[in-house]
């Protein structure tokens, strides 16, 4: 975990405090993504090792491919959350007015990079942004769960194949 927490505020009241608190929640979710990514990499290695130890690699190939696809999805989500982490850290340090202008500037810059038209005055709230991070985090957990189930399926296939060979 990096040392990216904002300095303590002297007046924790009003919408500014709420936005900073939400930004800290978003930051925490983004930082947790790295630990999930490490678990995913471990599961991916175990999946490959289990598949290679099996005598019927052809029968295990669909599960191996499913595990690889789930690991790739999880890796993309981890990358996406790693991208958001320093942004939420910066927003958590700002006062309300500065945070809102920083969010608008971020949205404008992202629209230019993605070559999209940004509707005027359509800046998502901090709560909407944190809910988006939460959704990405949940999808990452779903991909990790799928990898776990894939590995269990391969292990069961390995055990079943060794008893019925």
Mean of the per-residue pLDDT values for the chain?
Answer: 84
Mean pLDDT of 96-101: 81
Which tokens go with 29?
A: 């979710």
* pLDDT recorded at residue 85: 94
Q: Which residue has the higher pLDDT, 154 or 137?
A: 137
**Distance between CA atoms of residues 16 and 32, nearest Å:** 24
* pLDDT recorded at residue 8: 46
Per-residue pLDDT of 16-64, as tens digits, reads 668 888 999 999 999 999 999 999 999 999 988 888 887 666 777 888 8
* pLDDT recorded at residue 120: 66
Going from the C-alpha of 126 to that of each of 18, 67, 109, 123, 163, the distances in angstroms are 9, 34, 17, 9, 56
Q: Express as a percent the part of the chain with pLDDT over 90.
A: 43
| pLDDT of 84 above 60 | yes
* pLDDT recorded at residue 53: 80
Per-residue pLDDT of 111-137, as tens digits, reads 888 888 877 667 888 899 999 999 999
| pLDDT of 80 above 90 | yes
**Distance between CA atoms of residues 27 and 124, nearest Å:** 17
């Amino acid at each position: 975990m990096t040392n990216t927490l904002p300095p303590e505020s002297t007046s924790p009241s009003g919408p500014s405090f709420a936005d900073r608190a939400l930004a800290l929640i978003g930051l925490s979710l983004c930082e947790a993504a790295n630990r999930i990514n490490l678990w995913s990499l471990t599961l991916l290695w175990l999946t490959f090792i289990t598949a290679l130890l099996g005598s019927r690699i052809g029968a295990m190939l669909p599960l191996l491919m499913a595990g690889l696809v789930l690991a790739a999805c999880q890796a993309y989500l981890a990358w996406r959350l790693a991208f958001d982490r320093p942004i939420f850290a910066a927003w958590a340090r700002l006062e309300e007015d500065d945070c809102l202008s920083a969010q608008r500037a971020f949205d404008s810059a992202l629209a230019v990079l993605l070559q999209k038209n940004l509707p005027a005055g359509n800046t998502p709230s901090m709560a909407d942004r944190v809910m988006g991070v939460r959704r990405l985090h949940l999808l990452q957990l779903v991909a990790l769960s799928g990898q776990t189930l894939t590995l269990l399926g391969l292990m069961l296939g390995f055990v079943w194949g060794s008893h019925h060979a």
